[in-house]
Amino acid sequence: QKEVEQDPGPLSVPEGAIVSLNCTYSNSAFQYFMWYRQYSRKGPELLMYTYSSGNKEDGRFTAQVDKSSKYISLFIRDSQPSDSATYLCAPHSKGSSNTGKLIFGQGTTLQVKP
């Protein structure tokens, strides 16, 4: 079993839809839950992150962590064509923060159609 799993999609939605992107992980030591966004032919960029369980909201984006089920979600409200990108989750532990060994999910490709 991979440490981090994502459905690669592609996921296609109409503009204005609510999008749910999900990730599962197996390592119960993970405490930091990062989401990166990658536009076509570009490097990934940090979108947002949460520490431990719970929700975090940033504009139209909400990150949610359920540590009991090892499930991470990213919700996008009022999706826009400019949200079309690949979204990668990257959970990690404090230990990996120190050692530097950071692993990503496969990424989910999202297309928002006007």
Residues at the contact surface with another protein, assessed by CB under 8 A: 6, 8, 32, 34, 36, 41-46, 49, 51, 88, 90, 92, 94, 96-107
Measured from the CB atom, is 3 or 17 closer to another protein? 3
Strand partners, 109: 86
Report the distance separating Cα 89 and Cα 47, nearest Å. 10
Q: How far is the CB of 88 from another protein (least distance, A)?
A: 7
Give the shortest CB-100-to-another protein separation in angstroms: 4
| Backbone φ, ψ for residue 103 (5° rounding) | -115, 145
3-state secondary structure of 94: helix
**Considering beta carbons, is residue 29 or 102 the nearer one to another protein?**
102
* 22: CB partners within 8 A, 6+ apart: 6, 7, 71, 72, 73, 74, 108
Q: Which CB, 17 or 56, lies closer to another protein? A: 56
Shortest reach from residue 78's CB to another protein, in Å: 26
